[in-house]
Amino acid sequence: MTIRMNDCFRLAATVAILLACAGPATLQAAGAGPPPADLAKIVPGKTKDEVRAILGRPARTLPGRGTQTESWEYPYRGAFERRSFWVEFGANGTVARTEDAIDSNAGPYRGP
């Protein structure tokens, strides 16, 4: 069977497109964390299901204290440090507030 040059170019273009589409997913799987655009979508009033649909499964959940029922942590890489995006839920099960903090337990940042 002879492979024509046109078929080789078509195969190379297909592979390039697949790699370009898989790039962001690969970074996410490698621990880069949720993209900043997705973090901005988490606002008070969102339900747990909505947060999970946007950001995925949290890295850690903490039981609530006082009026907060539960907190979810989403670690990610900031520009110069490791950060954690926290989502706190109120008694009604919706987002009460969010916090973006430097992860002081992560150790020295060595870049992406």
pLDDT digits (tens, 9 = 90+) for 84-103: 999 999 988 899 999 999 88
Give pTM, 2 decimals.
0.65
Residue 36 has pLDDT above 50, yes or no: yes
In a shared domain, residues 40 and 25: no
For 8, the domain range is 1-30
50-62 pLDDT, tens digit per residue, is 999 999 999 999 9
User: Residue 3 — pLDDT band, cuts 50, 70, 90?
Assistant: low
Q: Tell me whether strands 95-102 and 60-63 are parallel, antiparallel or unpaired.
A: unpaired
Phi and psi dihedrals of 95, rounded to 5? -60, 125
Task: At 84, list the tokens.
Answer: 């954690």
| 89 in any annotated domain | yes
Number of domains in the chain: 2
